[in-house]
Amino acid sequence: MRKLATVLIFSSVITSCGALEWKDKLLSSASNKIPWSFENAMGDQLLPSILPPDQRIDDPNAQADLEALLLPITSKIQEPRIKVHISKDPALNAFAIPGGHLIFNKGMLLAAESPEEILGVAAHEIAHATERHVMRSMIQGLSLYAVVTLFMGDVSGVGAYLIHQGQALLETGFSRKQERQADAKGVENLINARIDPRGMIRFFERIQKEAGPNASGVSRFLSTHPLTSERIDAIDSTLKSLPAAEKTWKPLEFNLKEFQNRL
Domain spans of the chain?
2-262
Q: Give the pLDDT band (50/70/90) at residue 76.
A: very high
Is the pLDDT score of 156 beyond 70?
no
Characterise 177 by phi-psi region: left (phi > 0), alpha (psi -120 to 50), beta (else).
Answer: alpha
pLDDT in tens, 31-72: 777 889 988 988 999 999 999 999 999 999 999 999 999 999
Identify which of 89-93, 141-145, 155-159, 167-171 has the greatest average pLDDT.
89-93
Q: Which of 83-97, 202-216, 241-255 has the lowest mean pLDDT?
A: 202-216
- The pLDDT value given to residue 15: 45
- The pLDDT value given to residue 20: 47
Distance CA 27, CA 137 (A): 9
| CA 243-248-249 angle, 5° bins | 130
Q: Give the pLDDT band (50/70/90) at residue 142.
A: low
Give the phi and the psi of residue 18 in degrees, each rounded to 5: 110, 105
Helix, strand or coil, per DSSP, at residue 77? coil
Distance CA 53, CA 216 (A): 25
pLDDT in tens, 168-186: 777 777 888 888 899 999 9
Bridge-partner residues for 96, per DSSP?
102
